[in-house]
Amino acid sequence: MGRITEISPQVKDKKRVNVYIDGAFKCGLSLETAAKFRLKAGVEIDEERLKEIEFDSERQAALEKAAAHISKTMKTERELSLFLSRKGYGDAVVSFILEKFKSYGYIDDAAYAKSYVTAHSAKKGARLIKAELRARGVGEEIVADALKELDGGNAAKAAAAKYMRGKGREAKDIQKLYRHLLGRGFSYEEAAAAAEEYKECREF
């Protein structure tokens, strides 16, 4: 058991305070948390209770940072988890935030995957889109479901049309187009079919 001897505003963040126990610095808390638990000089507090209060303060700070982070663009569960971890929050706080945001619908990997496919299907094939979503932590089944409606053939043709603007139709140009489409994640069949439309009576 210790006694709070001082609570003072932090120099760099006036919304946070430093808490001193028995004359020594103990921890930093949000001003809101300090007020919520009615902390002030003279109050006696034990180690376990102080840890609970610290956790409450960390959760509140993490909620604010997470909300600001996802307000810019949609994020996957893994992306938000990594963001919070890099900010120094522990596993317990990160898990709390993720569960809270999922319950609110702020984090939804299935919705994210479908939105990502819609946004990128005109210039990328299923293979590349799948790799990018998996790299963002989206599950295999969720990715597969999001890709169900993707028309790879038409997407490859659209990507080919964009690539071929202002380019020639010689065999070397068609070969470059074919390699370009493969590099964008289209299948061999999709790339070949799209490139076929630009051949000038030549064997590909």
Predicted pLDDT of residue 75: 96
CA distances, 28 to each of 13, 34, 87, 104, 181 (Å): 11, 10, 15, 29, 54
Summarize pLDDT for 78-89 with one digit per residue, the tens.
Answer: 999 999 999 888
Contacts of 43 (CB under 8 A, 6+ apart): 3, 4
Predicted pLDDT of residue 82: 96
Averaged pLDDT score across all residues of the chain: 90
Predicted pLDDT of residue 108: 97
Is 22 within 8 Å of 30 (Cβ atoms)? no
Summarize pLDDT for 93-151 with one digit per residue, the tens.
Answer: 999 999 999 999 999 999 999 999 999 988 899 999 999 999 999 999 999 999 998 88
pTM over 0.75? The answer is: no
CA dist., res. 100 & res. 167, Å (int): 52
> What is the rounded average pLDDT of the residues 33-50?
90
Predicted pLDDT of residue 200: 53
Tally of CA atoms within 13 A in the half-sphere of 74 that contains its CB: 17
Six token digits for residue 165: 């603007």
Q: How would DSSP label each residue in 130-151?
A: HHHHHHTT--HHHHHHHTTT--
Predicted pLDDT of residue 201: 42
Summarize pLDDT for 149-197 with one digit per residue, the tens.
Answer: 888 888 888 888 888 888 888 888 888 998 999 999 998 999 888 888 8
Predicted pLDDT of residue 81: 97
Collapsing DSSP to helix, strand or coil, 4 comes out as: strand
Q: How would DSSP label each residue in 39-72?
A: --TT-EE-HHHHHHHHHHHHHHHHHHHHHHHHTT
